[in-house]
Chain A
């Protein structure tokens, strides 16, 4: 069936099989490979993207369900080569190692400060509940979210 959606401000109109997962649409149709498939069962969050302003797991959504939606992926965060403050914070605070979980982690982290502009450590940790990182032990990620929130408040 034909679907229309906007990804990172760009419109896509495409015929797709109903069973095509949104993540495969992003990666294979739109060529945006920053969004990663980690667990396939909506438990690791590596595939997190923003759909109409909300963080969702693109491995557990069919592309047809996103018909008409506006999606932002990690590739849509930097503006004219200027990193998003959350990306910058992950970089400064060493919030990543192998980097595989990072795009989804950054998208989830952005949702935290959208909803809690000055998050407590507890709010940050609970906001990351749906994202697994096997490398960092999360501590530098928590620092990054704190730093991004502090920076945004300035």
Chain B
């Protein structure tokens, strides 16, 4: 019989290679598309090719009669299914009825209109072509600023102004400081729509077991428990008989932090045909129907004294909502507002958000979710201010940072920054990059007519999301630790990590707490029938919140282990160390496996103690955590083509304590890649008719290996006081820190031409036009 090993080796803080990798590198992991079931059918969804149209009629007879086809459903059939949920409540929120299939009207290209179910996916695809939909095409609007103008087409006829919501936040005395300021700088800054582009598209397998009134739903999601609650509600099912399984999930980046029409639709189909059914999103559908990110037009104003002291910030934020609210759509720009002050010590803030309906796919969370937009805004504005005042961009930041003696620091937006030393990463990054020398080199290159730029971004973020009152669905996380009779350890995390490496980091935490080896531990996630209710992985929260729940569950278990150990050793003075309970006096020890066995055999029990070794904790965080850092980007611009080459990328991130540096580096690299993607290449472009013209990878440019610079990743460490692990979260840091550093670098390079701001992506043509203006 396998036994639990005992170890004194510790794992936290070490570059431990990941425990989830063997199945992934051998091609034996199971993603949704890999699931096969007897009698399984395939669904193909027919979608609107128009951004706005009335549906006059849908003729499906021919499709229904096509080879292999079992049935076709349209919006008429699914009227009894609940609407796709919006999880946000706000006073002014207008929530359009979001049916899972269009009924009388379509609102964006890709809007689901009908579903074809066949015994084979090829036949389902063939039959979809045979459905005739008679559309009465209507004018569409895809640009949020155009949508706000008088006379613009109404996305939803009942709201001709296209306003989805408004939100206002005021802190301090903005009018006063703007009136008294020596200088006010203003800038319109666009944070363009992006396609999250998880490598695995969405997919659902639904299996209705009628006799049990049970629905098993396999879906590629970041939040299986929330999907269970909400889809059960949409379908009128009992939540305890709805099982949601997120098998291997091939990336989410926020796009799978949602409840989608197709999840309920496949449940509906399986219930109707009494067979399992599979739907796998095509890449084209992923582009047009899975939520997009960003989509801001921001009007910033910043007021300052002549010495560079920032006095206040104003923001008018136009959020492109798309045609509907998905789960968190209206929340995302509010996160931008919370993050508005950045790392700077100013108490005067005013923000006005207007959410705007457009005939586009909804926006929602995408890596950073509101915080990259805010950081991009404030970090651009600070550079513009520095240029206006002829100050060094590093100096103006150092002058305005919240200093380290001020923590915890209350912001004008209602946050309480937990801990920080904002100057430390900036100073480290300046040293690493050789800032003084680079400025000299830049001066020399300018004399030769060459354009080299140094861009700084110092970012803060809101992580470990978050305290429940500040979240729409609970901000706690859960963990169960079970020590089996053999002493083997199973961890069930409610956080549902999907690539972030918690199968490893959570094992590291448990191994150190219990003094066992990593091989004795299994971390399980993603199945609502196995794992206690949980919230999910997003907002850089899995380790900081889920890891803390695990930590406390381990403390409970350790206490119980010691009780059993004390009983077996017949001593009250015992210590749990190295996977055994040791009697402090005699030095006698009982290994964990023996204690576990005794706890289940239960021949004898310690006083007031139940058999078994299992503990569950739901941990409610008292606050968010606030990681921060400094990124410096050195760029060279080809003065003929306008192409930007990143020469150096230095990232100094402070995410508190680091459990596994290998995994943290990976998170930073990946985050930076997505930030660079936004800064240089990516854009979801809709034309005036609402057609997504970057709707395939032939036109949507992603970061690729040969386009990426080497990322020099470093850290400072300011532990968080919010949780006992001292961790802050790092999943989004790279993305948040990156884009302003890149744009600041390009603007710095072109500043001799009088360039003050460039909107992303920094395409060579945009740069060329700025260069050409000068000539």
A residues at B contact (CB < 8 Å): 17, 19-20, 27, 32-41, 43-44, 46, 73-75, 77-78, 83, 87, 90-92, 94, 96-103, 106, 121-122, 124-126, 128-129, 131-142
Within 8 A of A (CB), among B726-770: 734
* A133-B199 contact, Cβ under 8 Å, with A33-B27, A75-B28, A94-B662: yes
Known pairs A17-B122, A98-B248, A134-B251 / 6 extra A-B pairs, C-beta < 8 Å: A32-B27, A43-B696, A43-B698, A98-B199, A99-B20, A140-B666
Distance A6 CA – B672 CA, assembled complex (angstroms): 41
A132 is contacted by which of B25, B665, B704 (Cβ under 8 Å)?
B704
Q: How far is the CA of A46 from the CA of B27 in the complex (A)?
A: 11
Chain A residues, Cβ within 8 Å of B499: 97-99, 135
Q: B167 within 8 Å of A by Cβ? A: no
Can you name 28 A-B pairs with beta carbons within 8 Å?
A: A34-B28, A36-B33, A38-B283, A41-B696, A44-B697, A46-B199, A78-B26, A94-B17, A94-B662, A94-B666, A96-B21, A97-B666, A98-B199, A99-B499, A100-B199, A100-B248, A128-B706, A134-B199, A135-B499, A136-B666, A136-B669, A137-B670, A137-B703, A137-B711, A137-B734, A138-B703, A139-B665, A139-B711
Smallest CB separation, B669 vs chain A (Å): 3
Bound CA–CA A20/B34 (angstroms) = 17
Q: Which of B29, B282, B283, B674 is close to A99, meaning CB atoms less than 8 Å apart?
A: B29
Interface core residue of A37, A97, A121, A131 (most chain B CB under 10 Å): A97
How many angstroms from the CA of A134 to the CA of B673 in the assembled complex?
Answer: 8
Contact string, B468-502, partner A, CB cutoff 8 A, digits 1/0? 00000000000000000000000000000011110
CB distance from A119 to the nearest CB of B (A): 12
In the assembled complex, the Cα of A101 lies from the Cα of B499 at a distance in Å of 12
Flag if B670 contacts A129 (CB, 8 Å). no
Across the interface, do A125 and B248 meet the contact criterion of CB distance under 8 Å?
no
Q: Does B407 contact A (CB under 8 A)?
A: no
CB-CB under 8 A from A40, the residues of chain B are: 282-284
How far is the CB of B14 from the nearest CB of chain A, in Å?
13
Is B198 in contact with chain A by the CB < 8 A criterion? yes
- Write the B695-715 contact mask toward A (1 if CB under 8 angstroms, else 0): 011100011111010110000
Hey, which chain B residues are within 8 Å of A92, CB to CB? 17
Q: Which residue of B lies closest to A108 (CB)?
A: B705
Instruction: Kindly identify which residue among B28, B250, B670 contacts A100, using a CB–CB cutoff of 8 Å.
Output: B250
CB of B521 closer than 8 Å to a CB of A: no
Residues of A close to B197: CB separation below 8 A: 134
Kindly state the separation between the CA atoms of A96 and B673 in the bound complex, as whole angstroms.
14
Nearest Cβ on chain B to A36's Cβ, whole angstroms? 7
Q: Report chain B residues within 8 Å CB of A128.
A: 704-706
**Chain B, 265-292, contact with A by CB distance < 8 Å: what is the 0/1 string?**
0000000000000001011100000000
Distance of B367 from chain A, by nearest CB (Å): 10
**How far is A36 from B284 in the complex, measured between Cα atoms in Å?**
16
Closest to A86 in B: B25
Interface pair B697/A41, CB less than 8 Å apart: yes
Residue of B nearest to A20 (CB): B122
Given known contacts A74-B27, A98-B198, A134-B198, A33 and B34 CB-to-CB distance under 8 angstroms: yes
How far does the alpha carbon of A73 sit from the alpha carbon of B663 in the complex, in Å?
27
Instruction: Tell me if B31 is interfacial: C-beta within 8 Å of chain A.
Output: yes
Instruction: Return chain A residues, CB-CB under 8 Å to B283.
Output: 38-41
Taking CB as reference atom, which chain B residue is nearest A132?
A: B702
Q: Judge whether B564 is part of the interface by a CB distance below 8 angstroms.
A: no
Using CB atoms, name the residue of chain B closest to A92.
B17
Contact partner of B27 (CB less than 8 A), chosen from A34, A134, A139, is: A34
Q: Could you tell me the distance in whole angstroms from the C-beta of A11 to the nearest C-beta in chain B? A: 20
Chain B contact residues, CB within 8 Å of chain A: 17-18, 20-31, 33-34, 122, 197-200, 248-251, 253, 280, 282-284, 498-501, 662-663, 665-666, 668-674, 696-698, 702-706, 708, 710-711, 734
Choose one: A36, A87, A94, A142; the contact of B705 (CB below 8 Å): A142
Interface pair B665/A37, CB less than 8 Å apart: no
Measured between beta carbons, the chain A residues less than 8 angstroms from B706 are 122, 125-126, 128-129
Pair A36/B250 contact, Cβ less than 8 Å: yes
Chain B: which residue is nearest A17 at the CB level? B122
A73 to chain B, nearest CB (A): 7
Shortest Cβ distance from B696 into A: residue? A41
* Known A33-B34, A78-B26, A97-B500; contact A134-B665, beta-carbon cutoff 8 A: no
Q: Find the residue from B31, B498, B499 having the highest chain A CB count within 10 A.
A: B499
The residue in chain A whose Cβ has the minimal distance to the Cβ of B672 is A137
Return the contact of A91 from the options B21, B30, B200, B665 (Cβ within 8 A). B21
Contacts A36-B250, A136-B666; is A101 near B199 (CB within 8 Å)?
Answer: yes
Residue on A nearest B27 in the bound complex, by CB: A34
Nearest to A89 among chain B residues (CB) is: B25
Partner of B18, one of A33, A38, A94, A133: A94
Contact between chains at B705 and A131 (CB < 8 Å): yes
Closest chain A residue to B21, Cβ basis = A91
**Which listed residue (A35, A37, A87, A135) contacts B251, Cβ 8 A?**
A135
CA distance A137 to B248 in the complex (A): 20
A92→B16 CA distance, assembly (Å): 9
A73 to B27, CA, bound (A): 9
Q: Which of A34, A44, A101, A138 contacts B673 (CB 8 A)?
A: A138
Q: Which A residues are CB-close (under 8 A) to B33?
A: 27, 33, 36-37
**Within 8 Å CB of A98, what residues of B?**
198-200, 248-251, 498-499
Chain A: CB-nearest residue to B713 = A139
A125 to B710 Cα, complex, angstroms: 11
Closest-CB distance, B65 to chain A (whole angstroms): 20
Q: Which 7 A-B pairs have the closest CB atoms?
A: A34-B27, A100-B250, A99-B24, A137-B669, A98-B499, A137-B673, A74-B27
Q: What separation, in Å, do the CA atoms of A133 and B200 have in the docked complex?
A: 11
Chain B residues in 8 Å Cβ range of A131:
705
Complex interface: chain B residues within 8 A of A36 (CB): 31, 33, 199-200, 250
B705 to chain A: which residues have CB within 8 Å? Answer: 124-126, 128-129, 131, 133, 138, 141-142
| Distance in angstroms between the alpha carbons of A54 and B282 in the assembled complex | 27
Complex Cα–Cα for A11 and B253 (A): 40
Report the minimum CB–CB distance from A60 to chain B (whole Å).
12
Least Cβ–Cβ distance between A64 and chain B, in angstroms = 14
Given the known interface contacts A34-B28, A103-B27, the answer about A44 and B663 at a Cβ–Cβ threshold of 8 Å is no
Residues of A within 8 A of B697 (CB): 39, 41, 43-44, 132
A90 and B25 contact, Cβ closer than 8 Å, known pairs A46-B199, A128-B704: yes
Cα–Cα distance between A32 and B672 once the two chains are bound (Å): 33
Contacts of B28 in A (CB 8 A): 34, 75
A37 to chain B, nearest CB (A): 7
Chain A positions within 8 Å of B27 at CB level: 32-35, 73-75, 103
Q: How far is the CB of A123 from chain B (nearest CB, A)?
A: 10
Residues of A within 8 A of B665 (CB): 94, 139-140
| Residue numbers in B under 8 Å from A34 (CB-CB) | 26-28
CA distance A88 to B602 in the complex (A): 44
Which of B501, B696, B702 has a CB less than 8 Å from the CB of A97? Answer: B501
